[in-house]
């Protein structure tokens, strides 16, 4: 599977965890059971995205709350909230993935699964977080002596 499809599966699992209160392993298993011939690497990547996002949820939500002026994060539609969480996790921790790819994929996921305005909303929130993410990426990519 392509990474975009794997992100979609990760989003679906995160949504199940958020709305349905599913456990991470059960949610990943459920969404990946819909796919024939799942490769081990694909499953590991989805698990990495889901466990990474859920493992840093408090930090991600704090950053997102600071970027959604006038909104409470829990009042944002669950699809948009989880797209934002996944993208923010990737921006901060998946340093091998290009920032432009992360942003583009997040906007596409929001458009595909959210409302008509979801893509613009997600784009606006992530644009506010981009300076923090880029600063963090630069700090993490430097080699310590």
DSSP state letters, 9-52: HHHHHHHHHHHS---HHHHHHHHHTTSTT--HHHHHHHHHHHHH
List the chain pLDDT tens, one digit each, 145 residues: 999 999 999 999 999 999 999 999 999 999 999 899 999 999 999 999 999 999 999 999 999 999 998 888 889 999 999 999 999 999 999 999 999 999 999 999 999 999 989 999 999 999 999 999 999 888 876 554 4
Alpha carbons 54 and 106: distance in angstroms, whole number:
17
CATH of the domain at 68: 1.10.940.10
| % of the chain with per-residue pLDDT over 90 | 86
pLDDT of residue 145: 45
The CA–CA distances, whole Å, from 111 to 12, 21, 145 equal 14, 24, 44
Question: Could you read off the pLDDT of 77-119 as tens digits, one per residue?
Answer: 999 999 999 999 999 999 999 999 999 999 999 999 999 899 9
Q: Are 13 and 86 a contacting pair, CB within 8 Å?
A: no
Terminal CA-CA length for the chain:
38
Residue in the block written with tokens 């080699």: 143
Alpha carbons 139 and 81: distance in angstroms, whole number:
26
pLDDT of residue 29: 96
Alpha carbons 41 and 63: distance in angstroms, whole number:
30
Q: Which two tokens stand for residue 74?
A: 């829990």
The CA–CA distances, whole Å, from 91 to 21, 57, 121, 136, 137 equal 25, 14, 17, 9, 8
Number of domains in the chain: 1
- Domain span at residue 39 reads 3-141
């Amino acid at each position: 599977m392509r990474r975009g499809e794997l992100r979609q599966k990760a989003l679906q699992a995160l949504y199940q965890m958020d709305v349905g209160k599913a456990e991470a392993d059960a949610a990943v298993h459920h969404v990946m059971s819909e796919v024939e011939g799942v490769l081990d690497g694909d499953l590991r990547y989805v698990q990495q995205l889901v466990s990474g996002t859920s493992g840093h949820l408090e930090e991600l939500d704090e950053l997102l709350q600071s970027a959604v002026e006038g909104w409470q994060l829990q009042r944002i539609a669950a699809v948009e909230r989880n797209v934002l969480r996944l993208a923010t996790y990737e921006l901060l921790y998946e340093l091998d993935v290009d920032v432009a790819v992360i942003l583009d994929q997040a906007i596409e996921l929001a458009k595909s699964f959210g409302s008509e305005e979801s893509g613009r909303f997600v784009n606006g929130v992530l644009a506010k977080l981009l300076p923090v993410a880029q600063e963090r990426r630069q700090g993490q990519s430097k080699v310590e002596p």
